[in-house]
Structures are given as C-alpha cells and as structure tokens.
Amino acid sequence: MIFVPPRLSPVLPGHFYITSSPHCRLLDVTLAALAALSVAVIILAMSVSWFLERHSALLFTLLTLNITSEDQRYFLATYL
C-alpha cells in the first residue's frame, strides 16, 4: 500500500494545517461565513443606532406634538 501524505498549507512560518480534508474546507468556509455575518450585524447595528440618534427627535416631535407648519419649517431648518 502506498501512503500519500496530505497536502499542507503554511499558516505561519513553521506551522501547517491540513487542507486536503473536506471537513477542513467546510470548517474554513463556515468560519469565514460566520465572520462575515458578524461584521454585517455589527455594521447594521451601528447604522440603526446612528439613524435613531439622528432622527429620534424629529420622529418624536412630528408624531406627538401638534405643531404648525411654521414650527415644522423652523424645526427642520434647525435640526436637519
């Protein structure tokens, strides 16, 4: 029987991990997808936080107060 060693891929000088196994490839793809998803969730959370911080005063004012169109124009000119 002939033994063929698995293909090795350098990670750091002097360190290797086996890439020929389908399980290793699946694990790499899964970890990369989870990392990308985590970054996307963080960016989305920061965007929502920024949007709410910037527009919460406007939304609260327009929904809860009975203000005139002149007051609305002043508010929009001041805060936007």
Which pLDDT score, from 0 to 100, does residue 41 have?
A: 93
Residue-averaged pLDDT of the chain: 72
| Res. 60 pLDDT band, cuts 50 70 90 | low
Task: Decide which of 57 and 46 is more confident.
Answer: 46
Which pLDDT score, from 0 to 100, does residue 53 have?
A: 78
Q: What percent of the chain has pLDDT over 90?
A: 15
Which pLDDT score, from 0 to 100, does residue 78 have?
A: 79
Q: What angle do CA 25, 44, 39 make, to 5 degrees?
A: 30
d(CA 79, CA 5) in angstroms, rounded, equals 67
d(CA 19, CA 17) in angstroms, rounded, equals 6
pLDDT in tens, 12-49: 555 555 555 566 677 888 889 999 999 999 999 998 88
